[in-house]
Amino acid sequence: MEVSMEQVKELRRASGAGILDCKKALADSQGDMEKAIDLLRKKGVAAAAKRLGRMTNEGIVSVVLYEDGRQATMLSVMCETDFVARTEEFKALAVELTEDFAKTAPVFVGGPVSEQLAGVYKERLTDLVAKIGENIQLGDYCKFKASPTSHLFYYIHHNKKIGVMLELECQKGGEALDRLGKNLTLHIASLAPEYVAKEDVPEEVLAKEKEIYLEQLKETGKPQNVLEKIAQGKLEKFYEERCLLLQDFALPPNLPITQMLADTSNELSEKVKVVRFFRAKIGE
């Protein structure tokens, strides 16, 4: 029998299954909605919608390079268990989706995949959830495009659950810049700074942090001017923990990041500057 699109839509709403599965189930059941749902349940497809609500704390961070490394895209694809994340099928899926993002997604400094962008992949992911038997979600992504005077670097941790993308401004390339790029991406993966410099921290973030500090200090009974000084000291510590240029390198001899940049600049006879970075981690 011929199945209408309205019937397919209704069955999709009821089951969460993909269009092709719904269409086949309706055809096999002669348009009977209840029988079609039973067929999907037997196939394991109708359970997909329920799986979509499960926690996804495992997965893979993947990177794809284009234009001879002048464009780089990083995407985290998440699932429920490490068992699924380690399968060749899931690894291939992560690379495939990252390649798709590299071709179609806009340049983006980094953050969660928007609802609008995720909606493009909703049906495909729903079908995969039914097939694999686990919730699959898109996490964070970034897409960097180098300028004529900058270079891109990336790092993927051995467990593939942490990824870092970095852009350094310096017209010259070579071994010294590559070494710095590698070290900085390792450092960012390890210490997880959120901003390049102190000036990059949004005012609203600082105001919120200060409000929290002052609230915590109220019980001390100290004068307001003293509390303000203590809160300011805490903010300085906050800067050190969150700003890359205020940190010391994660590995011995723990040189200041600013010194590492200065040393490389001297070696290249050209100033090296951190333009931007993004760190993605699955499980945070």
Domain boundaries, the chain: 5-46, 202-242
Question: CA–CA separation, 121 vs 130, rounded Å?
Answer: 14
Question: CA–CA separation, 11 vs 16, rounded Å?
Answer: 8
Do 5-46 and 202-242 show the same overall fold? no
Cβ 140 vs Cβ 110: under 8 Å: yes
Q: What is the pLDDT of residues 44-92, one digit of tens each?
A: 554 555 555 567 889 999 999 998 989 999 999 999 999 999 999 999 9
pLDDT surpasses 70 at 120? yes
**Which pLDDT score, from 0 to 100, does residue 222 have?**
86
Q: What is the CA radius of gyration of the chain?
A: 24
pLDDT surpasses 60 at 34? yes
* 143-159 mean pLDDT: 97
Question: CA–CA separation, 139 vs 124, rounded Å?
Answer: 16
pTM: 0.80
Q: What is the pLDDT of residues 164-203, one digit of tens each?
A: 999 999 999 999 999 999 999 999 999 999 999 999 999 9
CATH T-level topology, domain 5-46: Helicase, Ruva Protein; domain 3 (1.10.8)
Residues 6+ apart with CB under 8 A from 69: 146, 152
Q: What is the pLDDT of residues 233-253, one digit of tens each?
A: 999 999 999 999 999 999 999
Report which of residues 126 and 207 the model is more confident about.
207
Q: What is the pLDDT of residues 244-280, one digit of tens each?
A: 999 999 999 999 999 999 999 999 999 999 999 999 9
CATH of segment(s) 202-242: 1.10.286.20
